[in-house]
Amino acid sequence: MDIEKLKNDKEFLAELEKTKEEALKAKDIVKMYDVLDTMLALDMEGEDIDALYEEILRTAFDRLANMLTDGEKFDFSKEYDEYVARAVYEHALERWDRRDFKGAKELFLILSFLVPEKFQEAMFIPMVAAAKQMELDTFLDEFVDKEAIEEESFFLDRFTPEAKKFIEDNRKLIEEELKNVEKLV
């Protein structure tokens, strides 16, 4: 795919805009992300990207609120649920990067309660690291096995042996946090 060619292809850009409007109208987070990912690949204007991302987050957090109210959990056989979890996860990473350790920890905690069991560790490790106010870059450098992460993965879900030890050393903190969230849910 020739990125420069697509940037100047009026027909392609018109179709992208049409898809974006349809996705926004339908509140289709999967299509919104498809458009966002395309816009990012094309290095398009930040304002349009920011507005689309804000709508993705609004849609995701509306769904998350409904899930918590209804006592639901994510079902990753449903693409929509995967993308809602992706949006919440990315927002948690953003908060963490901005040093909002408490906000990031709480989002990872909520996700750990709602994701399928095989993804819980991928939420516990960053939750504990954020709770301990570890910098995101330090976490990425010390605990994430970047080469092992699959390209289509929405989460940082492959960890170093140091991360495994870190999680075991902090098992009590995880148990306390899970008890707190169970009270809320």
What range does the domain containing 102 cover? 75-185
Residues 61 and 90 in one domain: no
Q: Which of 72, 94, 111 is the last residue of a domain?
A: 72
Q: Which of 38, 72, 106 is the last residue of a domain?
A: 72
- Averaged pLDDT for residues 137-149: 93
Mean pLDDT across the chain: 92
Tell me which H or E stretch contains 5.
helix 3-7
Tens of pLDDT, residue by residue over 107-117, are: 999 999 899 99
Residues 64 and 121 in one domain: no
Q: Residue 183 has what pLDDT? A: 66
The residues, any chain, with a CB within 8 Å of residue 108's CB and separated by 6 or more, are: 89, 92, 123, 124, 126, 127, 130
Residues 35 and 117 in one domain: no
Q: Evaluate if residue 56 carries a pLDDT over 60.
A: yes
Q: Which of 165, 134, 136, 159 is nearest to 147 (CA)?
A: 159
Q: Evaluate if residue 185 carries a pLDDT over 80.
A: no
Q: Which of 72, 100, 122 is the last residue of a domain?
A: 72
Residues 68 and 128 in one domain: no
DSSP-assigned states of every residue in 21-86 = HHHHHHT-HHHHHHHHHHHHHTT--HHHHHHHHHHHHHHHHHHHHHHHHHT----TTSHHHHHHHH
Q: Evaluate if residue 6 carries a pLDDT over 90.
A: no
Residues 1 and 50 in one domain: yes
Tens of pLDDT, residue by residue over 62-73, are: 999 999 999 999
* Whole-number percent of the chain with pLDDT over 90: 75
Of 46 and 173, the structure prediction assigns the larger pLDDT to 173
Residues 91 and 55 in one domain: no
The residues, any chain, with a CB within 8 Å of residue 61's CB and separated by 6 or more, are: 87, 88
CA torsion, ordered 59, 63, 69, 75, to nearest 10 deg:
-170
Residues 113 and 40 in one domain: no
Of 69 and 152, the structure prediction assigns the larger pLDDT to 69
Domain count, the chain: 2
CB 60 within 8 A of CB 88: yes
| CA separation for the pair 96, 128 (Å, rounded) | 12
Q: Evaluate if residue 8 carries a pLDDT over 60.
A: yes
Residues 24 and 59 in one domain: yes
Q: Which two tokens stand for residue 26?
A: 């339908």
Tens of pLDDT, residue by residue over 14-44, are: 999 999 999 999 999 999 999 999 999 888 8
